[in-house]
């Protein structure tokens, strides 16, 4: 099977030459393991961080080794009693056509309950991030005015909708194109939205939230975070989920310059990592699964075909070519 290796560590924006698609033999799985033919691969912003050789909450990708990431596939050979050929599983060995997965690190999923792609997005890691970030980290309360950046993406589009479903009194989103901004209000139910490329974020935010915000769901950092600090009411809360505006920059960011607002407004800014919130997963699957089935929560996916296009899908996601979750589909 073919698998993507990192062959050079990107500086700034990754380039196709940093990656190589290599053919490796497919072997029997071995005791306690299953051989999985991947059907869908996830490409995610955090993977950019794993391409750097720095200590972080996940170890860096090794050079000339297959990269890892979320994937859903079908078991084709099993040497583990809990799985049989034909079972679908979600696991962490993406970026490749065939994966040999330790049964302890595979979770059975059913295409009868939801489309398999949902387990990488709306009912998977990005969905849980939105749910736990709002409820456990920002501690959303009914009546809050909520601002979400990266709002047309996988986490952001879900965070905005969950805020509304949980009783926020206003939900504002920002995204990088007029088309995405239209989607936010027309499809995802945001009360207001703006294109951050069309003018200063602080001015545009003040225009749609003249009375300020209570919660900021930060996917972007930089100028967006500065604008949110300026817009916060007293005792505002920010969930610092990601800072994608600086993942590919070589220079440190120029903003935020107004951190002193944290003092006077008694703000709480808290970073999150989704894997700390697995305890709430059953509640998340139950509640969000219900909203998906009833149609109260909409989700979009951007699907790129073919393992050979996985790097392009990843780079495209970093550039904003996706609406909702970016997924790579393999033949099946």
| Site for ligand NDP, residues 231 to 270, rule: CB under 6 A | 241-242, 244-245
CB 2 to ligand NDP: min, Å: 24
For helices 222-231 and 201-208, give the axis angle rounded to 10 degrees.
40
CA 194 centroid distance within chain: 21
| Site for ligand NDP, residues 69 to 108, rule: CB under 6 A | none
191 binds ligand NDP (CB under 6 A): no
320 binds ligand NDP (CB under 6 A): yes
CB 85 to ligand NDP: min, Å: 31
Structure tokens at 252: 């440190």
225 binds ligand NDP (CB under 6 A): no
14 binds ligand NDP (CB under 6 A): no
One residue of 18, 44, 77, 87 binding ligand NDP per CB under 6 A: 44
Q: What share of the chain is helix, strand, coil (3-state, %, to 5)?
A: 35, 25, 40
126 binds ligand NDP (CB under 6 A): yes
CB 312 to ligand NDP: min, Å: 14
160 binds ligand NDP (CB under 6 A): no
171 binds ligand NDP (CB under 6 A): no
CB 36 to ligand NDP: min, Å: 23
Distance of alpha carbon 163 from alpha carbon 173, whole angstroms: 11
50 binds ligand NDP (CB under 6 A): no
Judged by beta carbon, residue 88 or residue 180, the one nearer ligand NDP is 180
Judged by beta carbon, residue 46 or residue 291, the one nearer ligand NDP is 46
CA 201 centroid distance within chain: 22
117 binds ligand NDP (CB under 6 A): no
One residue of 70, 73, 124, 156 binding ligand NDP per CB under 6 A: 156
Question: DSSP code of 80?
Answer: S
Cβ neighbours, 10 Å, residue 226 = 21
One residue of 9, 10, 13, 46 binding ligand NDP per CB under 6 A: 46
- 174 with 201: CB under 8 angstroms? yes
Structure tokens at 232: 């916060």
CA angle 225, 207, 239 (to 5 degrees): 25
One residue of 80, 180, 190, 330 binding ligand NDP per CB under 6 A: 180
Judged by beta carbon, residue 107 or residue 110, the one nearer ligand NDP is 107
| CA-closest candidate to residue 148, choices 248, 241, 275, 236 | 241
Q: How is 130-177 classified by DSSP, letter by letter?
A: HHHIIIIIS---TT-EEEESSTTBHHHHHHHHHHHHTT-SEEEEEESS
Distance of alpha carbon 100 from alpha carbon 106, whole angstroms: 10
- 220 with 197: CB under 8 angstroms? no
Length of the chain: 332
One residue of 150, 160, 170, 256 binding ligand NDP per CB under 6 A: 150
Q: Which residues bind ligand NDP (CB under 6 A)?
A: 44-46, 126, 129, 150, 152-156, 175-177, 180, 219-220, 241-242, 244-245, 272-274, 317-318, 320, 322, 326
């Amino acid at each position: 099977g073919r698998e993507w290796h990192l062959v050079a560590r990107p500086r700034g924006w990754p380039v196709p030459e940093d990656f190589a698609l290599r053919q490796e033999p497919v072997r029997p799985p071995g005791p306690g393991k299953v051989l999985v033919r991947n059907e869908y691969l996830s490409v995610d912003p955090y993977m950019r961080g794993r391409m750097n050789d720095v200590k972080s909450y996940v170890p860096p990708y090794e050079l000339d080794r297959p990269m890892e990431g979320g994937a859903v596939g079908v078991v084709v050979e099993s040497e583990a009693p809990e799985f049989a050929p034909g079972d679908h599983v979600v696991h962490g060995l993406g970026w490749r056509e065939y994966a040999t997965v330790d049964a302890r690190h595979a979770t059975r999923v059913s295409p009868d309950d939801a489309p398999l792609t949902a387990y990488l997005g709306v009912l998977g890691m990005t969905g849980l991030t939105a749910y736990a970030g709002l409820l456990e980290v920002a501690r959303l309360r009914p009546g809050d005015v909520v601002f979400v950046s990266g709002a047309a993406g996988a986490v952001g589009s879900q965070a905005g909708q969950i805020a509304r479903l949980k009783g926020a009194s206003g939900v504002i989103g920002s995204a990088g194109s007029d088309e995405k901004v239209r989607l936010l209000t027309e499809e995802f139910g945001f009360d207001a939205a703006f294109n951050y490329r069309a003018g200063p974020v602080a001015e545009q935010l003040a225009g749609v939230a003249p009375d300020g915000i209570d919660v900021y769901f930060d996917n972007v950092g930089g100028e967006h975070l500065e604008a949110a600090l300026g817009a916060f009411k007293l005792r505002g809360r920010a969930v610092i989920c990601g800072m994608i505006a600086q993942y590919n920059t070589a220079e440190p960011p120029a903003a935020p310059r107004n951190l002193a607002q944290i003092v006077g407004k008694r703000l709480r800014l808290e970073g999150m990592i989704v894997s700390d919130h697995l305890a709430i997963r059953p509640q998340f699957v139950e509640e969000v699964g219900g909203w998906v089935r009833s149609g109260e929560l909409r989700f979009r996916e951007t699907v790129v075909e073919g393992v050979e296009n996985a790097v392009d899908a990843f780079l495209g996601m970093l550039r904003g070519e996706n609406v909702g979750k970016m997924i790579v589909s393999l033949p099946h």
